[in-house]
Amino acid sequence: MDYQFVKDIEGNVRVQMSMDHEVIGHWFNEEVNADPALLDQVVKAATTLKGTEQQWQHTGREYTIALSDDEVMIQANLLAISIDELDEGMSYYDQESLAFCGFEDFFALVAAYRQFCR
C-alpha cells in the first residue's frame, strides 16, 4: 500500500493512495479533514478491539470505516445500493469504493499522516 501526502492550494493535507486503496485516501480527504478527532476515535477503538472478536464501525458523511481484530475496511456509503437493481449481465464496479488493509499498514499510515500534518 503506497501513499503520498500533498498540500492543496488552501493548505489542506490530501492523501493520495495506490490502486486498490484509493478509497482510504478519499476517507482521509473527506472524513478526517472534516473531523480530525475521528482519527483519535479510530485509534481508541482499535486499542479496545485488539485481542477480541468484537467489531467497531463508524459511518460518516461519505464513507464508513469498520475495524475487526486485525483488519480495516473502508467503503463508500454509496455501496449500499441493492444489487437487485442492476440489469442482467451488469455488475457494479467497486474497486475505487471499497478497500481492506491490515492494522499495521493502516496505523503506519495514520502515524505518517499525523507527522506530515504537524
| DSSP per position, 7-55 | E-TTS-EEEEE-TT-HHHHHHIIIIIHH-THHHHHHHHHHHHHTTSS--
Residues 49, 65: Cα–Cα separation, whole Å:
14
Write down the pTM of the prediction: 0.85
Does residue 41 register a pLDDT over 60? yes
Radius of gyration of the chain (CA): 15
The pLDDT, as a whole number, for residue 78 is 85
Measure CA 74 to chain center. Answer: 4
User: What's the pLDDT score for residue 59?
Assistant: 97
Task: Specify the pLDDT at position 89.
Answer: 57
Tell me how far CA of residue 31 lies from CA of 7, 90, 98, in angstroms.
16, 31, 15
Averaged pLDDT of the chain: 88
The conformation of residue 87, written as its DSSP 8-state character, comes to P
Give percent of the chain above pLDDT 70.
Answer: 85
93-109 per-position pLDDT tens digit: 455 689 999 999 999 99
- For the chain, domain boundaries: 3-81+95-117
Residue that the C-alpha cell 483519535 belongs to: 40
Please report where in the chains the cell 504537524 appears, as a residue.
Answer: 118
